[in-house]
Amino acid sequence: MKKFAIAAATATALTLTMANAAFAQATQSPMMVATGEVTEVKEATSDTWITTKVKSDLLTEKGIPGTDIKVETNKGVVSLSSTVALTASQKATAVSITKNIKGVKAVSADGLKTD
């Protein structure tokens, strides 16, 4: 009877240890997935913030047709475009304003039409 009790206790201990290890693996995977999703959300929020900041700064700058300039941001790279022609000076000012905004890695102004 004593041998049976020792064998049962050993089997129970091994089962609990293995179950604990399996549970730990199962709970870590969703955390890793969630961490990746949070990173993507932060990046999207950052791009949204940059776009909003560029657009607002262009709208408040005198001499720049801010309402006619389209702003798109992807991973910190800002693309400026317009359907209305700008002067070379207005284009240079728009690019300068955009480059001075925190988080902007590069500016593409190929889409800005000039006279």
Question: From the CB of residue 48, how many other CB atoms can be counted at a distance below 10 Å?
Answer: 11
Identify the residue whose tokens are 């560029």.
54
What number is the average pLDDT over the span 108-112? 95
pLDDT tens readout for residues 10-61: 555 555 555 555 555 544 555 555 556 666 666 666 999 999 999 999 999 9
Coil, helix or strand for 70?
Answer: strand
The domain tally of the chain equals 1
List the domain range (segments joined by +) for residue 104: 2-111
